[in-house]
């Protein structure tokens, strides 16, 4: 055979082989390869724990990541390893070797939507949008999920106010062991607007029911009266602590916590890593973590937040289906935006219709998703 003809045939065969391989890899009928650090395929959803108008579906997994090296905000503030102060305030930071230095990196005037945070622990700090810190000139909530690395300089921290009427002396903040309920958390995490956040605090829920629905026990009138009852301070924390609401949040929480513990106490080879939450017949929210240990650190304050949302929504007794809840385990396919701090964390937001998914990835010592939030916009 002529050498030129042989070469042409060989080229055609190699080209066909490569095209066939590429066509197989990118076939629209083939599922996309699983992203590194995303264990969705190993998640399994259990039957719901249902009480009043809320259904909580445990999410379990037989695998998980080692998250013991991460520090939560409550742990860090309680131990003094994390310090949060108003912008422009000087404060002493004492290190493990008993040396001290002054936080004075941000000398601008105190600002409603920015604080200064120092992580002086030997562990990276995890922050979740909606976590509440008490003190300073007024109570604030964290504006966005992120990780603060070990040894980082004082960090300008974006926050939102959830306490009107107080702008008084005080610079340091303490752990409140509270995360705001989903309607408020949505406005902080997704809308990123102070007026939207405060509107959700005063209104209780941003959910709008169609037609006539049973009244909510924490409706906007009750909440407005509750959070403004001790003028001049209008504080979100009163939603949890005031008796003037006429609703026992603790009793509601205890009912769900007891049933949740009973249902998940006999798992074999699996651990709870998160939950999917429905109100009435609508699946609305999910929080899933990289490990059962990390989930347990957040579970109590997350549950309290879900209960406040349930009390603020209409008292519909429909129960969402397990199939609908399972759909909340799937990764969205939609518009995506991403922010990254090299070698520390990656933050992603994916929007598909009324659904928004936010993922926080740790990048060291290897990349994996530390926390995943998926919510249905109200």
pLDDT, tens digit, 9 for 90 and up, residues 178-189: 999 999 999 999
Nearest to 279 by CA among 216, 201, 223, 236: 216
- DSSP strand pairing (131-135 vs 173-179): antiparallel
For residue 239, the SS3 value is helix
Residue 11 placed within a domain: no
Domain of 285 in residue numbering reads as: 40-376
Helix (H) / strand (E) containing 15: helix 3-25
Residue 77 placed within a domain: yes
Provide the greatest CA pair distance for the chain.
Answer: 97
Residue 169 placed within a domain: yes
Phi, psi of 8 (to 5 degrees): -65, -45
Q: Is the pLDDT at 223 greater than 90, yes or no?
A: no
pLDDT of residue 138: 87
The total number of structural domains that make up the chain: 1
Q: Are 122 and 150 in contact (CB under 8 A)?
A: yes
Residue 29 placed within a domain: no
Residue 182 placed within a domain: yes
For the stretch 248-252, contacts whose Cβ atoms lie closer than 8 Å and that sit 24 or more positions apart, written own/partner, are: 249/304, 249/307, 249/308, 249/311, 252/51, 252/52, 252/307, 252/310, 252/311
Q: Is the pLDDT at 5 greater than 90, yes or no?
A: no
More reliable by pLDDT, 69 or 317: 69
Residue 75 placed within a domain: yes
Q: Is the pLDDT at 71 greater than 50, yes or no?
A: yes
Through-space distance between the first and last CA atoms of the chain, rounded to whole angstroms? 72
State the chain's mean pLDDT as an integer.
Answer: 81
pLDDT of residue 105: 45
Q: Is the pLDDT at 148 greater than 90, yes or no?
A: yes
Nearest to 115 by CA among 161, 58, 164: 161
Residue 128 placed within a domain: yes
Q: Is the pLDDT at 70 greater than 60, yes or no?
A: yes
- Torsion angle of C-alpha atoms 129, 320, 52, 356, degrees rounded to 10: 10
Task: State CA 102 to chain mean position distance.
Answer: 32
pLDDT, tens digit, 9 for 90 and up, residues 237-247: 666 665 555 66
Residue 25 placed within a domain: no
- DSSP strand pairing (71-72 vs 125-127): parallel
């Amino acid at each position: 055979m002529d050498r030129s003809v042989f070469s042409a045939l060989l080229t055609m065969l190699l080209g066909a082989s490569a095209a066939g391989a590429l066509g197989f890899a990118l076939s629209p009928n083939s599922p996309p390869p699983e992203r590194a650090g995303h264990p969705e395929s190993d998640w399994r959803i259990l039957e719901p724990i249902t009480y009043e108008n809320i259904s909580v579906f445990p999410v379990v997994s037989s695998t998980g990541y080692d998250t013991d090296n991460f520090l939560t905000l409550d742990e860090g503030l309680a131990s003094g390893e994390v310090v949060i102060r108003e912008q422009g305030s000087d404060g002493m930071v004492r290190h493990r070797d008993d040396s001290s230095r002054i936080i004075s990196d941000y000398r601008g005037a105190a600002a409603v939507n920015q604080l200064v945070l120092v992580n002086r622990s030997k562990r990276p700090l995890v922050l979740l949008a909606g976590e509440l810190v008490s003190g300073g000139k007024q109570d604030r909530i964290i504006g966005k999920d992120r990780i603060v690395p070990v040894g980082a300089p004082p960090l300008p921290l974006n926050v939102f106010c959830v306490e009107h009427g107080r702008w008084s002396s005080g610079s340091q903040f303490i752990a409140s062991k509270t995360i705001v309920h989903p309607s408020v958390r949505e406005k902080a995490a997704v809308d990123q607007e102070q007026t939207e956040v405060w509107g959700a605090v005063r209104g209780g829920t941003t959910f709008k029911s169609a037609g006539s629905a049973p009244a909510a026990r924490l409706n906007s009138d009750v909440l407005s009266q509750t959070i403004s009852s001790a003028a001049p301070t209008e504080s979100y924390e009163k939603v949890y602590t005031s008796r003037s609401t006429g609703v026992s949040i603790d009793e509601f929480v205890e009912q769900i916590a007891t049933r949740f513990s009973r249902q998940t106490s006999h798992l074999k080879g699996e651990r709870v890593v998160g939950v999917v939450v429905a109100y009435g017949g609508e699946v609305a929210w999910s929080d899933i973590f990289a490990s059962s240990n990390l989930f347990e650190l957040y579970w109590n304050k997350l549950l309290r937040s879900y209960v406040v949302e349930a009390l603020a929504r209409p008292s519909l007794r429909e129960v969402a289906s397990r199939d609908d809840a399972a759909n909340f385990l799937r990764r969205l396919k939609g518009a995506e935006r991403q922010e990254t701090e090299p070698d520390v964390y990656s933050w992603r937001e994916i929007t598909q219709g009324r659904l928004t998914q936010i993922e926080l990835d740790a990048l060291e010592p290897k990349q994996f998703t530390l926390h995943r939030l998926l919510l249905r916009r109200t």
